[in-house]
Amino acid sequence: MSSKVQTLGEFIIGNQSEFAYSTGELSRLINSIRLAAKVVNHEVNKAGLVDITGAVGDTNIQGEEQQKLDVYANEKFIQTLTNREIVCGIASEEEDDFITIKGHNKDHQNKYVVLIDPLDGSSNIDVNISVGTIFSIYRRITPEGTPVTLKDFLQPGRNQVAAGYIMYGTSTMMVYTTGHGVNGFTLNPAIGTYYLSHPNIKLAETGKIYSINEGNYIKFPQGVKNYLKYCQLEEEDRPYTSRYIGSLVADIHRNMLKGGIYIYPETSTAPNGKLRLLYECNPMAMIVEQAGGKASDGFTRILDIQPTELHQRVPFFCGSKKMVEKAEEFMQKEG
Ligand code: P6P
């Protein structure tokens, strides 16, 4: 990567207007996530060489078998965010409840809360498929100086001040937004520096890729079945191509760069779908909307959903605006 390309650090300094209302805390928060991601990336990249893959024998609140690397990633992000005196609370996919961070200087003075899926798609680690970290940042709504409460975490996604993901794939990329567009940074592992490789990412208004686990077809609602048949018809710009990696960050990232729609709908056995609203769908929805795309549960904009529980799930339709709107048409026709 030639030196004339901006580094993530230079980008943050050069775009302080994005963080105008913060006293440098938000940019320090983004930097601390960047640092933790480098440490996690180092372990992910050598998974298989050391005894850090495979399951730890525990299960998380989702009842999912915890992989050693996602326990490691969870610990690293929590440790980095805690030590940096920037956040007052953290919620994680790997933690049953939220974590209160008192701070060392003055009690509970920090103004941000972070919600994180430390290693999404971790079941793919052992087969060397891309995995990712997803993060969502809000300003607390309860008074500074008091302990953070569940209310600070159960904010609608439109309140996010920043959201992003790190993809540990053929290269490691950090893609994030602070509400002023979406930028992608690629890590040069040789020197541990992220470079602005994908400035101002725009999601094509339409595309030819649909991404869904068709193994669940029999359980899908009729609206989804009808939309899939629409995608497969030999008409106009169709049939579309089906691509499904089974790792949310990788599937969304591909669509961000190539256009497409990702769907994880409700099913007859999972009436709210599988993906979690607070630390998967909301951050991805902010990123996709900032890039010109759309995200809903088939009926309601994801970012307008009022959360009621930390680990609640929602059906998820996300990607190129016109493709999501067409899928919503089929969903709404079936009611
Ligand atoms: P399924 C990974 O467990 C995850 O949360 C997302 O990363 C991924 O898109 C989805 O679940 C895959 O779920 O049921 O298709 O295996």
For the chain, domains (ranges, CATH) are 8-198 (3.30.540.10), 209-333 (3.40.190.80)
Q: How confident is the model at residue 46, as a pLDDT?
A: 76
Please state, in angstroms and rounded to a whole number, the distance separating the CA atoms of residues 167 and 271: 29
Ligand 1 pocket: which of 67, 70, 120 to mutate (most atoms <8 Å of CB)?
Answer: 120
Tell me, using a 6 A CB cutoff, whether residue 217 lines ligand 1: no
- Ligand 1 and 120: CB distance under 6 A: yes
Instruction: Tally the C-alpha atoms within 13 A of residue 145's C-alpha that lie toward its C-beta.
Output: 1
Both tokens assigned to 61: 């609140």
For residue 264, what are the β-bridge partners? 316
Q: pTM to 2 decimals?
A: 0.93
Triad 14, 194, 256: Cα angle to 5°: 90
DSSP letter for 104, please: S
Residue with CA at minimum distance from ligand 1 atom 2: 121
CA-nearest of 265, 267, 268 to 314 is 265
pLDDT at res. 66: 64
pLDDT at position 294: 98
The confidence score (pLDDT) of residue 273 equals: 97
Distance CA 139, CA 42 (A): 30
pLDDT for res 189: 87
What's the pLDDT score for residue 85?
A: 76
| CB of residue 248 inside a 6 A radius of ligand 1 | yes
Residues of the chain with pLDDT under 50: 1, 20
Is residue 324 within 8 Å of residue 295, measured between CB atoms?
A: yes
Q: Is 19 exposed, middle or buried (0-12, 13-18, 19+ CB in 10 A)?
A: buried
Per-residue tokens: 152: 């600070």
Ligand 1: which of 247, 253, 267, 277 to mutate, judged by most atoms within 8 Å of the beta carbon?
A: 247
Two tokens at 91? 């919620």
Please tell me the total number of residues recorded for the chain in this structure. Answer: 335
Distance 6 CA to ligand 1 centre (A): 34
Report CA(258)–ligand 1 centroid distance (Å). Answer: 20
For ligand 1, whether the C-beta of 216 sits within 6 Å is: no
Count CB-CB contacts under 10 A for residue 309: 12
Residue 197 has what pLDDT?
Answer: 96
125 close to ligand 1 (CB < 6 Angstrom): no
Query: Whose Cα sits closest to atom 16 in ligand 1?
Result: 246
Residue 45 one-letter amino acid? N
Residue 293: CB within 6 Å of ligand 1? no
